[in-house]
Structure 1
Amino acid sequence: MQHTSAVGAGKLRRMRRMFGADGRGVFVAIDHAAYMGEGPPLGEPMYEIAAGRPDAVLATWHVARAYAGPLAGSGLVLRVDGGSSELGDRAAGDTNALLHRPEEALTIGADCVVVLAFPGAPDEDRSLTRLARLCSECELLGLPVMAEMIPGGWGQAVPWTAENVARAARIGAELGADIVKTVCPGPPEEFAEVVRACPVPVVALGGPKMATEDDVVALARGVVDAGGAGVAFGRNVWGSEKPRQLVERLREAVHGAADADRPSSTSPGAGR
């Protein structure tokens, strides 16, 4: 008989809250305002996103606390790094730090924590060390870590080729991440190279607002067809005029029609 430690059981349960029985997940990123000071609209749009039943949300401390009721049916991936904003001049290098510790994340009900890392950037050691230390701490608590791996940083100090994105994803996994979130390096079929290189689930971020919502859904379907574990889309969801319907379409693209037709286990307005 196989036995699972308490820590291992914790990770299993929390991972299952974010990924369905098919091993796939639709994540909605609503953590942008922590550095933009704007972005995901508060109030009714948050309830609309929740009503679409994403598998999980990437959220700030405020969103996790203020919308705990509506979002209780989705896994919570808490953004724990930051400390810089877009209000002034863009920093020349990595000025971020860990803002919340793993134990604190657990107190607000996090199923996972997420941090950025920039392999290939001139000061890559800062973010990679931050990621590794966080993974070590979270391992002791059974708390999964999502590494948002951006090769060369947002300034693309190295090109976002399929090879570089794949190498960045592998680095994140080797440092202890349980999930990797990263860019789609080109057409969705190129994501297959990233998936093959990485031994943990890989989800694709959405990036800038796309021309149409059909494009958003097509990217999600293409990522999954390439072997990806799902998507983590932000402004393409919260920037939609009908975010609930878009999340439902993404669920169908990622999980299939049977899942999209499954009734919600919670009332859309719970906690309002």
Structure 2
Amino acid sequence: MSKKRKLSRIFSENGKTIILALDAYYFSLKVDGIDKTINLLPELAEHGLNAVITTYGMAKMYVDSFTDLGMIIRADVSSDIFGNNVPRTSQLLSVEDAIKLGADGVMTMTFPGSENEMNSHQIAWNIARESETWNIPYFCETLPYSYHVTTPESNQTEFIAAASRVGTELGADIIKTRLRGDAEDSEIIRSAKKPVVVLGGPETQDILTYFKYVYHCMQVGAKGVAVGRKITLNSNPIGVVAGLNAIIHLEKPPEEALDIYHHVMSG
């Protein structure tokens, strides 16, 4: 199967995507809601979810749950799983391993500027090269210094833009990175030279604030979102996905997305 056909499993016809990140068990203790949300995947797909990022173990355990969604396999794992900043990673599986599980894409992280910089770049290059051999899309999650914002530089436009371009130069087909939420985010999108899906979002429990952030991301040129806890920790995960679908696929404003969120919850 060509990369284009595999990407069509992850991106809608409009070239946009909503991706649910279920890979936190590789990186963090913050895993509440993941297994519960997996049980909701058929409904989430009906409301606009395109794909999941998952682990080797989950791909084996939940084969039926992932059938109707694009599946991106995480190929790296934290070398310090109890470290809050995901400071170091190691390659865990090969592209061939992912393909045997039925993957439509493969993902790793890289952290320009970190103490683990060269190792994470080497992992990215290894996976990018294997992905070309096996004709499967490679998603590079690339962030300056660390997964979280740990210094002023790690949240500055020029550093995020540079980190995004490093992912492209290492061979990524798709870049996953953070945006700041301001007009300069368009510089990050331009620098990447590849489609960008956005992780995370503002630290807020207010769903309208989050929807406004996603709307902004789409306005500056992002191709979608790849998020976990914004969905899995919400009391109404189906409503969150329905709201994201309104913004990302239907090009509705955040206020309409909020109405849809509440309507799905009441339904």
TM-score range, shorter chain: 0.7 to 0.9
Assess, with a 3 A threshold, how the Cα gap between structure 1 residues 92 and 148 changes in structure 2: closer, same or farther. Answer: closer
Q: Tell me if 1:221 matches 2:215.
A: yes
Q: Deviations over 1:33-70 (max 9, x none)?
A: 22324514355421224421111111112222222212
Distance 2:232 2:90 in 1: 26
Letter in 2 for 1:15: L
Alpha-carbon deviation of 1:123?
Answer: 3.3
Aligned pairs (5 A) from 1:58-73:
58-73=53-68
1:41 aligns with 2:33: yes
Aligned-residue offset at 1:80: 0.9
Structure 1 residue aligned with 2:108: 115
Code of the aligned partner of 1:164: F
The one-letter amino acid paired with 1:199 is K
| TM-score of the two chains, using structure 1 as the length reference | 0.83
Partner residue in 2 for 1:97: 90
Contact 2:28 2:84 in 1 (8 A): no
Correspondence 1:137 to 2:130: yes
Shift of 1:195: 1.0
Q: Deviations over 1:81-114 (max 9, x none)?
A: 0153444x669952x2111110010011111111
CA distance in 2, matches of 1:92, 1:115: 13
| Unmatched 5+ stretches in structure 1 | 1-8, 259-272
State the structure with bigger RCO (CA 8 A, min sep 6), 1 or 2. Answer: 1
On the 8 A contact 1:210/1:236 being kept in 2, the answer is no
1:161 is displaced (CA, Å) by 1.0
Q: Quick one: distance in 2 between partners of 1:113 and 1:32?
A: 16
User: Does the residue aligned with 1:217 lie in a helix, a strand or coil?
Assistant: helix
What do residues 163-222 of structure 1 show as CA deviations (whole Å, max 9, x unaligned)?
A: 1111111110111001100011243x3321111112211011015752212222222211
> Within 2, Cα distance between the matches of 1:59 and 1:92?
17
Structure 2 runs not aligned, ≥5 long: 253-267
Q: Which residue of 1 aligns with 2:51?
A: 56
- Shift in Å, 1:79: 0.8
Whole-Å Cα distance in 1 between the matches of residues 179 and 95 of structure 2?
28
Give the alignment's TM-score, normalised by structure 2: 0.85
Per the alignment, do residues 244 and 91 of structure 1 end up closer, same or farther by CA in structure 2, a change over 3 Å counting?
Answer: closer
- Which of residues 170, 178, 185 in structure 2 aligns to 1:175? 170
Q: 1:16 aligns with which of 8, 15, 19?
A: 8
Q: Does 1:244 align with 2:238?
A: yes
What is the number of equivalent residue pairs in this alignment?
Answer: 247
Secondary structure at the counterpart of residue 73 of structure 1: coil
